[in-house]
Amino acid sequence: MAVDDARTVIFDCDGVLVDSERLIQEVDMAMIAELGWPITREEILSQHMGRTSAEVAANIERHLGRALPTDFHAVRDAAYAEAFRSSLVEVPGVRSAVCELQAAGWQTCVASSGSHARMRLTLGVTGLRALFEGRVYSADDVARGKPAPDLFLHAARDLGAAPDQCVVVEDSPSGVAAARAAGMPVVGFAGLTPRAALAEADVVITAMDVLVPTVTTMLPTP
């Protein structure tokens, strides 16, 4: 099989590999409420999920009409880290799905709006990091984050994979939009995310135990 024909699965991280979205939302709801915006989970989903930290901060500032405290990012990152170390687990079934795909010859990688530092922590805490060594990509690596296609195209290019031979697994509307903009088929994972929010995905699943047959059907063996 030529390198550019290699079938590849690109995983988002938060909410797809690691069950972090609930923890992130709890931290954000508490911190943003203290600043004067009693933000809801629904607002976080529609306005923040899948976005970069800088984009989230800019949205909070627009809503508040003022700049965030200078220590906001440091305090929030510390709160995330504490929550991850104490409570973070992998998404049920995802480890076996990744291992099964790799055993069948699929390339796998991670492409997330989160920073490399955060993914080192979350993938490390859950023990998933070893499955993706050297194949972890962050929005920090590209000019534009999701919903732009830059991150997914960067990951595919680095792995030598053609976009139409990649399947993206995403749990956010912005991630689904990014995959479609990249010309890649996309599986929406409705774990914490409502199915309706992932309507633009090619397929929506609610459990990782159906991921392997789903992507195999989407990209059959050449």
Q: Catalytic site residues?
A: 12, 14
End-to-end distance of the chain based on CA atoms, in angstroms? Answer: 9
Nearest to 110 by CA among 101, 99, 119: 119
Q: What single DSSP character describes residue 143?
A: S
**How distant, in Å, are the alpha carbons of 26, 63, 68, 84 from that of 189?**
20, 29, 32, 21
Q: How far apart are CA 92 and CA 114, in angstroms?
A: 21
**How distant, in Å, are the alpha carbons of 26, 85, 167, 214 from that of 217?**
36, 37, 11, 5
As a residue count, the chain comes to: 222
Buried b / exposed e along 72-110 (16+ C-beta atoms within 10 A):
beeebbebbbebbeeebebbeebbebbeebeeeebbbbb
Q: What single DSSP character describes residue 145?
A: -
CB-CB contact of 71 with 111 (8 Å): no
Phi, psi of 186 (to 5 degrees): -135, 135
